[in-house]
Chain A
Amino acid sequence: MSNFEMRHPDDGLLLRYLDGELSGRKARQLRSHLEACWQCRCEVDALQATVADCIRYRKSVLRDGLPPAPAPWRPLDFESVDTELASQSVAARLARFFSPHQGAPLRWALTGAAVLALAFVAIHKLGETPRVEAAALLKKAVAVSEARPHTAKRLRITTSRRQITRVIYGADVTAPGEAEIAALFQTAHYDWSDPLSAQAFSRWRDQLARKQDRVETPDKDSYIIKTTTGESELTSATLEMRATDFEAVEGRFEFRNREWVEMTELVDQQTLPASTLAGTAGGMSRQPDMPPVPLHSTPPAPEPEEPSAYAEQLQVFSALHQVGADLGDPIEVNREGRDVVVSGTGVSHQHQQQLHALLDRLPHVVVRFNDPSLPASNPPAEEPATRDAAGPEAPKYPARLEARLGGRPQFERFSGQVLDWTDSAMSRVYALRRLAQQFPAEAEAGMRPGDRRTLHALGAEHAAALAKDLQKIASTVPPVLSGLGAAGSSPAASSASAWQAAAENLFTSGRRVETLLAEVLGVSAGTTAAIRPQGADAASQLLTALAQFTRDNEQCLRLLSYDDVRQSK
């Protein structure tokens, strides 16, 4: 990712450069390339000319060509808003709204609109959209989950002091330190029996008269609901649910006493999670509207398949790897009957051509790419947000880091460098996780030895590249953060016994590093960062998370190479 000064940057990179959306280091590299390269300077001029066209278009077509506002603009009626805000609960507001004695406060809205439209405006005027959305989502999730029998699931629970694994609906064993965490939740009136569930979240949320909700869809696979309140000991709770079955997969809880707890559902083959389903494993196609499947009827492993079926999938992944399209390209690989379908929206032209060249000749492999034209209500499939530009916020860490490093340029160099490494590391994490999901342990057991070796080699290559990035990060970040007084604690040992499970853990710890890093460096990390408040000591958390990330990767690499050796014998 650092050698583009050797090649000519494409229009996308040039545009991001012109728009100031490149990190400091990339921008500097590009600038020096432009100084040297006449050809690219002409490309820049052509782009700038198109930008100028856009501006002329905005002025002469959009501004002058669109019909002007049909009526004179009325001054904003602030009074009505203030009056509305004065009342407390939603119920009170709505009741008042629908009361026949409705008076002045809403006069501005009462201009011949239908009742339905009024309700719409009223709800929105109160800024309730996220609340309604959150309530509706939770309701649906609770309904789906109640229709599903409870089976044992394992949670990885992390706090600032420890990490434990807890089995829900399983053997009644209490992990050391669990009582303390349980007490924390009980004082907040948050049900501890199954804390990572829509039910528990929803029951807690329903008790709150004053709360703020936020609903995010970071990608098409999940919803994130965040509720914050000043009323409970638990001041902020975030629940991530899978979009396919509304199963809660991740949660973060922040308490008034500055404690925080994170939970992730552990997925490995020792205990099947309550939420194993088509779409997350085995390359079966995703079915968003699929009714919940009762667990006991879910087969414990993907359908037994011909070993050769995996060979084709594996060939696809090897081809993706060969052209570098497994590091962030929005490409999906699904099985449709006998065929392996490779599809994608927004894949670069070059990758499309390369993949067609490699895959078209394979039997049972279908390649389909299309240009994105999705309705905005349905966000396109994209990799999770990356940090492309400095965010609007300027929290305190960057300033402290700047002082520590000796100035703004030094800080920019540092942050650009670290973010580049993290970007590169995360692209490996996503690639690994994807392999793990596509070839789960049960499926791997049915593969031919040669294919297994190929699979392990693919995985090990990602893990080794990740190890290199991690080493760079680990030798750069901790010394600087320690200088700010941050201290990490030692990471938890990984319990994964298959590389697939280790890859999942790796994904969790990587995401955490990404989020904390964004916070510490003061850059926006898209939607994920937006729901993370500034922690009391994000720098210390980051140190711990980095150590965990490294350890999880070591475990993953170990499992990948161990199996490899064993199988080659």
Chain B
Amino acid sequence: MSSFASDEHFVDSMRQERSGTGLRDQVSRLFEEARDDVYRYLLTIGLHPPQAQEAAQEVFLRLYATLRKGEDIQNPRAWVFRVAHNLGLKIRTRQHAEEPFEPELSARYAQDSGTPESELIERERMRRFHDAVSRLSEQQRRCLFLRMEGLRYPEIGSVLGISASAVGEFLRRAMVRLKRVRDE
């Protein structure tokens, strides 16, 4: 999440150091910074943890390969999510026989007890929020998750293959539904 401000700088230095160890360092840095986000995103689209980790690793190697081939990547973080998304879906399609990964988040929230009341209220609220998120349409949820990762509308659009205005519309619907959780 912290890398946007430095994206421009990142790109510049990547251009300067197209080959050699500089590029490797840059990719490694982005890898360390964003791998967990990418990994979690892959879990949310239904990959099982080992696949998601393998795929996340793969995505950053592709980033390196693409930059090595001399291509310009304007926003590496958005690029990484786009490639992760496509790779994730391909892996999912290949394993259509297998059940997609669905973490039992709500169950986990119900388990704990003996915690202060304020925390319990917050948990209850997050549980309801999670329920609302699960009820969103798939596209709405994907737009929302990518937005949470800091991607802009055109970038989300290019990940999902839809227009930026469609992203705006999906996000609007998602936010309207999530807003209701507060009012409940």
User: A residues near B, CB below 8 A?
Assistant: 10-12, 15-16, 19-21, 46-47, 49-51, 53-58, 60-63, 65-67, 69-71, 73-78, 80-82, 84-85, 120-121, 124-127, 129, 212, 217, 346, 371-377, 379-380, 382-389, 391-393, 524, 526-527, 530
Contacts and interface: CB of A to CB of B under 8 A. Distances in A.
A12 B172 contact: yes
Contacts of B27: 76, 78
Contacts of A20: 152
B166 A76 contact: no
B128 to A, nearest CB: 10
Contact of B138 (A55, A374, A389, A524): A374
A212 B43 CA distance: 30
Given A21-B153, A46-B182, A374-B139, A124 B87 contact: yes
B108 interface: yes
A76 B60 contact: yes
Interface of B is mostly: helix
B153 A19 contact: yes
A47 B89 CA distance: 31
A61 B128 CA distance: 12
Interface of B: 24, 27-28, 31, 35-36, 39-40, 43-45, 49-50, 52-53, 56-58, 60-62, 64-66, 68-69, 71, 74-75, 78, 85-87, 89-90, 93-94, 103, 105, 108-109, 125-126, 129-130, 133, 137-140, 142, 144-145, 147-148, 152-155, 157-158, 160-166, 168-173, 175-176, 178-179, 181-182
Contacts of B169: 12, 346
A69 B129 contact: no
Contacts, number: 210
Contacts of A393: 74
B68 A85 contact: yes
B24 to A, nearest CB: 5
Contacts of B157: 385, 526
B168 A15 contact: yes
Nearest to B41: A62
Nearest to B74: A392
B69 to A, nearest CB: 7
11 contacts: A12-B171, A19-B147, A53-B129, A53-B181, A76-B64, A78-B64, A80-B61, A373-B140, A385-B164, A389-B152, A392-B75
A84 B93 CA distance: 26
Contacts of A383: 163, 165
Nearest to B93: A377
A388 B179 contact: no
Most chain-B CB neighbours within 10 Å: which of A46, A47, A120, A382? Answer: A382
A73 B35 contact: yes
B165 A385 contact: yes
A11 B66 CA distance: 39
B161 A379 contact: yes
Contacts of A82: 68
Contacts of B44: 62, 66
A9 B130 CA distance: 28
Given A53-B182, A81-B68, A376-B160, A67 B43 contact: yes
A291 B62 CA distance: 37
Contacts of A212: 71
A145 to B, nearest CB: 25
B57 A74 contact: yes
Contacts of B144: 54
Nearest to B138: A373
Nearest to A527: B158
A55 B129 CA distance: 11
Contacts of B94: 120
A373 to B, nearest CB: 4
Contacts of B62: 124-125, 127
Nearest to A423: B165
A77 B61 contact: yes
Residue among A50, A74, A375 with the most chain B CB within 10 A?
A: A50
Contacts of A85: 65, 68-69
Contacts of A16: 153, 168
Contact of A372 (B49, B86, B137, B148): B137
B38 to A, nearest CB: 10
